Amino acid sequence: AAHVNYNFNIVNANIAPDGFTRAAVLVNGIFPGTLIEANKDDILHITTNNQLVNPTMRRSTTIHWHGLFQFRTASEDGPAGVNQCPIAPGHSYTYDIPLNGQPGTFWYHSHLSSQYVDGLRGVLVVRDPVDPHLSLYDVDDASTVISLGDWYHKAAPGIQEVYLRGNHEPVPDCGTINGVGRYVGGPAVPRARINVVQGQRYRFRVVNLSAYGQFTFSIEGHSLTVIEVDGINHVPKTVDGFEIYAGQRYSVVVHANQPIRNYWVRAPMELQHHSDNDNLDEENNYAVLHYAGAPSGEPTTRARDGVDNLLREHELAPLENPGAPGGSAPADRVIDLSFTRSTNNNQLKWTINGIQYHSPTVPTLLNIIANGATVESDFTTPEHTFVLNHNEIIELVIHGSANGHVHPFHLHGHAFDIVQGNSGPSNYVNPPRRDVVGVKGSTVIIRFKADNPGPWFLHCHIDWHLEAGLAVVFAEAPNEQRTGPQSQIIKQEWLDLCPIYNALP
Ligand code: C2O
């Protein structure tokens, strides 16, 4: 195992991804933040120096490594109030993460309040030297990462407050591709350019870093062969495009086998309230696929075009070890989750089974480790914590909300099998496996095995919804975590975070 070190200075700086200058919260001063690249057996050490000073945005911080399982390292997962206390301004913390052979396309983001909306987000790629799909592509490097994001001109704390008073979700000013975008009425910022050489086959890693926006991704004149979904290899599936929700990732193989010119990379952003889409111009979220030898500049072809053959999630099948845990036999534990939005006295909240999630002051993991919390009554109700028994097969029945919005639910610590998706038949034989599933109007059923002791968040990845309480925590095998063979070493540096944070004025 190689040790791979990164230094993250978390700073306030002014940036203008779409030509509009604003103060932001950034990793090493850039948006998206520094790309992390490693191999699947490496151990990551990410030293995070909190240098935040701007009082109009959050000044403490934490970072979540979205999709990494964190086996025996739940202390490094990031969510404030679940897995750690925040890193106070002026302080540092080093995240130590053995990758344990887990390859794939991941990302990282602040997991403190809505801080990632202000910029603290980036891509994390873990390569596999013996990737079973290796023969399908020639190029997979930093130039083949395509990040999609949403961007706001106003700082997150202020717009979050307006939302929580009972308004609808804050509307992003623009979408971004690889950190650049255009807003309606703004300057014609040069579009992101993705360079290819004719004849080569590229593994594009498409990542949705958004807090809210979803995208429909396609490339003019090229088909996309999906090989990886949220870090899990899938049987290759060729489509013309796909929808991608907040937090999701796809690796697609694109063969640059077309005549030398420029082609549109289209990723129009869509929002839940259709009226809000009127404020966006779909062509603002286009990039350029540039063949070596073509003139620089934009394609001369018509930009807008329909996408015929969109990916249907239920047609995806994992490449390795397909099959839901437990097969079609009943799960050991079935948990029904129903969520609702309500407003009362100008207070907006989202609840699951009637309970709005509130972040506790003692992080769930500290409660387990230091206080010996092991049963549900050891956790205060507002946290809404379910205790899962070690190695049980868990089935989550997530009842969609009738208003037709898509809620991208993300589970920490696991990938899960989607045995009943938004469409298609139920499937226990080779269902798609991923870590973010869009839940629409119908019931979605997912399965996983509780084989990873630790407290894990399950939440809607629309950050405004999470902030309004659309979350639960699974305290998975707490006894095992404290004293069993799968217990983890708790670092003094981690324990020190809480007294330092709690001493903040
Ligand atoms: Cu991508 Cu709980 O997060």
Ligand 1 close to Cβ of residue 109 (< 6 A) = yes
Minimum mean pLDDT among 248-262, 407-421, 441-455, 475-489: which range? 475-489
Could you tell me if residue 153 is inside a domain? yes
Q: Which positions ≥6 away from 264 have C-beta within 8 Å?
A: 219, 220, 286, 287, 288, 289, 299, 301, 303
Q: Which positions ≥6 away from 444 have C-beta within 8 Å?
A: 398, 400, 409, 418, 420, 421, 422, 437
Ligand 1 atom nearest 107 alpha carbon = 1
Residues 121, 160, single domain; the answer is: no
CA–CA gap between residue 59 and residue 278 (Å, rounded): 34
Ligand 1 close to Cβ of residue 412 (< 6 A) = yes
Centroid of ligand 1 to alpha carbon of 458 (angstroms):
8
Could you tell me if residue 114 is inside a domain? yes
Give nearest CA residue, ligand 1 atom 3: 66
Region 74-91: what's the mean pLDDT?
Answer: 98
Please give the single-letter amino acid code of residue 482.
Answer: R
Could you tell me if residue 364 is inside a domain? yes
Residues 201, 339, single domain; the answer is: no
Residues 284, 170, single domain; the answer is: yes
**C-alpha gyration radius of the chain:** 22
Residues 159, 124, single domain; the answer is: no
**185's tokens:** 């009425």
Centroid of ligand 1 to alpha carbon of 310 (angstroms):
26
Other C-beta atoms closer than 10 Å to the C-beta of 402 total: 10
pLDDT above 70 covers a percentage of the chain that reads 100
What 3-state DSSP class applies to 29?
coil
The last residue of a domain, from among 128, 146, 166: 128
Residues 420, 498, single domain; the answer is: yes
Residues 192, 222, single domain; the answer is: yes
Residues 31, 47, single domain; the answer is: yes
Centroid of ligand 1 to alpha carbon of 77 (angstroms):
9
Region 251-268: what's the mean pLDDT?
Answer: 98
Beta strands in 353-435 (DSSP E): 385-388, 393-399, 407-411, 416-420, 433-434
Residue 393: the pLDDT is 98
309 contacts 240 by C-beta, under 8 angstroms: yes
Has residue 381 got a pLDDT over 80? no
Has residue 36 got a pLDDT over 80? yes
**172's tokens:** 């992003």
**413's tokens:** 């610590």
Long-range contacts of 337-346 (CB under 8 A, 24+ apart): 337/396, 337/397, 337/398, 337/399, 337/472, 338/399, 339/398, 339/399, 339/401, 339/407, 339/460, 339/470, 340/401, 341/401, 341/403, 341/468, 343/166, 346/165, 346/166
Ligand 1 close to Cβ of residue 66 (< 6 A) = yes
Q: Which positions ≥6 away from 345 have C-beta within 8 Å?
A: none
User: What one-character DSSP code corresponds to residue 264?
Assistant: E
The last residue of a domain, from among 276, 295, 319: 319
66 contacts 410 by C-beta, under 8 angstroms: yes
**Boundaries of domain holding 278:** 133-319
Centroid of ligand 1 to alpha carbon of 461 (angstroms):
6
Centroid of ligand 1 to alpha carbon of 467 (angstroms):
12
pLDDT band for position 426 (50/70/90)? very high
Residues 180, 145, single domain; the answer is: yes
Ligand 1 atom nearest 66 alpha carbon = 1
Centroid of ligand 1 to alpha carbon of 186 (angstroms):
31
Residue 122: the pLDDT is 98
Tell me the whole-structure pTM to 2 decimals.
0.98
Has residue 19 got a pLDDT over 70? yes
DSSP letters spanning 338-376: EEEEEEETTEEEEEETTB-----SS-HHHHHHHH---SG
Paired residues of 9 in beta bridges: 49
Distance between alpha carbon 201 and the CA centroid of its chain, in Å?
Answer: 26
Has residue 467 got a pLDDT over 80? yes
pLDDT band for position 133 (50/70/90)? very high
Query: Given 3-state DSSP classes, what are the helix, strand and coil percentages for the chain, each rounded to the nearest 5?
Result: 15, 40, 45
Ligand 1 close to Cβ of residue 111 (< 6 A) = yes
Q: Which has the closest alpha carbon to 437: 457, 420, 454?
A: 420
The CATH number given to whatever domain includes residue 186 is 2.60.40.420
Region 1-12: what's the mean pLDDT?
Answer: 96
Region 278-299: what's the mean pLDDT?
Answer: 93
Q: Which has the closest alpha carbon to 238: 220, 215, 259, 255?
A: 255
Has residue 147 got a pLDDT over 70? yes
Has residue 305 got a pLDDT over 90? no
378 contacts 360 by C-beta, under 8 angstroms: no
CA–CA gap between residue 406 and residue 400 (Å, rounded): 9
Centroid of ligand 1 to alpha carbon of 302 (angstroms):
37
Domain count, the chain: 3
Ligand 1 atom nearest 412 alpha carbon = 2
CA–CA gap between residue 425 and residue 97 (Å, rounded): 38
Centroid of ligand 1 to alpha carbon of 246 (angstroms):
9
Region 290-318: what's the mean pLDDT?
Answer: 94
Paired residues of 395 in beta bridges: 334, 447
CA–CA gap between residue 54 and residue 13 (Å, rounded): 9
Residue at token pair 């130590």: 96
Ligand 1 close to Cβ of residue 255 (< 6 A) = no
Residues 270, 403, single domain; the answer is: no
Ligand 1 close to Cβ of residue 410 (< 6 A) = yes
User: What one-character DSSP code corresponds to residue 331?
Assistant: P
Ligand 1 close to Cβ of residue 465 (< 6 A) = no
Residues 164, 280, single domain; the answer is: yes
The last residue of a domain, from among 266, 295, 319: 319
CA–CA gap between residue 247 and residue 455 (Å, rounded): 20
Give nearest CA residue, ligand 1 atom 1: 66
Residue 303: the pLDDT is 84
Ligand 1 close to Cβ of residue 79 (< 6 A) = yes
Residue 417: the pLDDT is 98
pLDDT band for position 249 (50/70/90)? very high
Residue 332: the pLDDT is 98
pLDDT band for position 486 (50/70/90)? confident
Q: In what order do the strands lie in the sheet with 407-411?
A: 385-388, 471-476, 454-460, 407-411, 436-439
Residues 208, 299, single domain; the answer is: yes
Residue 505: the pLDDT is 87
Q: Which positions ≥6 away from 489 have C-beta within 8 Å?
A: none
Instruction: Say whether the peptide bond before residue 32 is cis (omega within 30 degrees of 0).
Output: yes
Region 410-419: what's the mean pLDDT?
Answer: 98
Q: Which has the closest alpha carbon to 456: 481, 471, 473?
A: 473
What 3-state DSSP class applies to 239?
strand
Give the ipTM of the model, two decimals please: 0.99
Other C-beta atoms closer than 10 Å to the C-beta of 503 total: 8
259 contacts 236 by C-beta, under 8 angstroms: no
Could you tell me if residue 326 is inside a domain? no
pLDDT band for position 404 (50/70/90)? low
Residues 248, 373, single domain; the answer is: no
Residue at token pair 């106070």: 88
pLDDT band for position 281 (50/70/90)? confident
Region 458-483: what's the mean pLDDT?
Answer: 96
Q: Cα 288–292–298 angle (5° rounding)? A: 30
Could you tell me if residue 494 is inside a domain? yes
Q: Which has the closest alpha carbon to 435: 444, 426, 446?
A: 446
CA–CA gap between residue 435 and residue 107 (Å, rounded): 12
Could you tell me if residue 328 is inside a domain? no
Write the Ramachandran bin of 117: left for phi over 0, alpha for psi from -120 to 50, otherwise beta.
Answer: alpha
Residue 211: the pLDDT is 97
pLDDT tens digits along 157-183: 999 999 999 998 999 999 999 999 999
262 contacts 279 by C-beta, under 8 angstroms: no
Ligand 1 atom nearest 109 alpha carbon = 1
- Give backbone dihedrals phi and psi of 136, rounded to 5 degrees, phi first: -90, -15
User: What one-character DSSP code corresponds to residue 85?
Assistant: P
Could you tell me if residue 327 is inside a domain? no
- Give backbone dihedrals phi and psi of 144, rounded to 5 degrees, phi first: -105, 10
